[in-house]
Amino acid sequence: MPTPRATDTVLGVGAPLPLQTRPNPITLSPMTAHTSPSTADATITEPKPLAPAGPTVLVKRLDPNAVLPKAQTHGSAGLDLAACLPRHGLREQATILPGDIIKIPLGFAVAIPDGYEGQIRPRSGLATKHGVTVPNAPGTVDSDYRGEMFVALINLGREPHTVRHADRIAQLVIAPVTRPALVETDELDETARGAGGFGSTGR
């Protein structure tokens, strides 16, 4: 994959991902057995930022108004994905009628390293409040895909839902993948479950 340049915007570096920090080390001054610790007795050093864990994902902005993926909290597993409108024939607002599916452009492309995938997952608030979710969840962004990112949304609610520019509509999770070695065989090992499929384990 291409080497990041100084001008490249990288997922996990800078704004998109908050930097993790080490716990503040505290050095307490000597105290007698009858002395209670206080803030005056402690020296707190400045936290030292750590580089974000995980792979480097290059991002290419295709629309100057695109909102790049960004984690909202320190512990967020996914990076929020925002609609880029107007674009590809869609106007400033795109209304999804109940039962309809629409592809929302994001206005950027990514280069995910080999050995990883991008998982497109619904946003819980959008799904539970409006019934708007990702129909093929989780969608997969392959490591060799270099086209523009889109999010397919389906409205499972009872009311039309309008998506506007910069609305957060889904999440991107970067996850490792494995490629299994398939071996054809005439027999499989026996298990207690056997061929029991849908509903075989009960409610």
CATH of residue 110's domain is: 2.70.40.10
Domain that holds residue 117: 57-176
Write down the mean pLDDT value for the chain. 83
46 in any annotated domain = no
98 in any annotated domain = yes
Q: How far apart are CA 14 and CA 10, in angstroms?
A: 8
3 in any annotated domain = no
Burial of 138 (0-12, 13-18, 19+ CB in 10 A): middle
On the question of pLDDT at 133 being above 80, the answer is yes
On the question of pLDDT at 8 being above 70, the answer is no
Averaged pLDDT, 151-165: 98
User: How many structural domains are present in the chain?
Assistant: 1
pLDDT band at 41 (very low <50, low <70, confident <90, very high): low
For residue 138, is the peptide bond before it cis, meaning its omega torsion is within 30 degrees of 0?
A: yes
User: Could you tell me which of 24, 53, 28, 46 has the C-alpha nearest to residue 38?
Assistant: 28
Q: How far apart are CA 191 and CA 89, in angstroms?
A: 54
On the question of pLDDT at 73 being above 70, the answer is yes
73 in any annotated domain = yes
124 in any annotated domain = yes
Per-residue pLDDT of 81-120, as tens digits, reads: 999 999 999 999 999 999 999 999 999 999 999 999 999 9
Supply the pTM of this predicted model.
0.73
17 in any annotated domain = no
Averaged pLDDT, 170-194: 95
Over the Cα atoms of the chain, what is R_g?
24
82 in any annotated domain = yes
On the question of pLDDT at 13 being above 90, the answer is no
137 in any annotated domain = yes
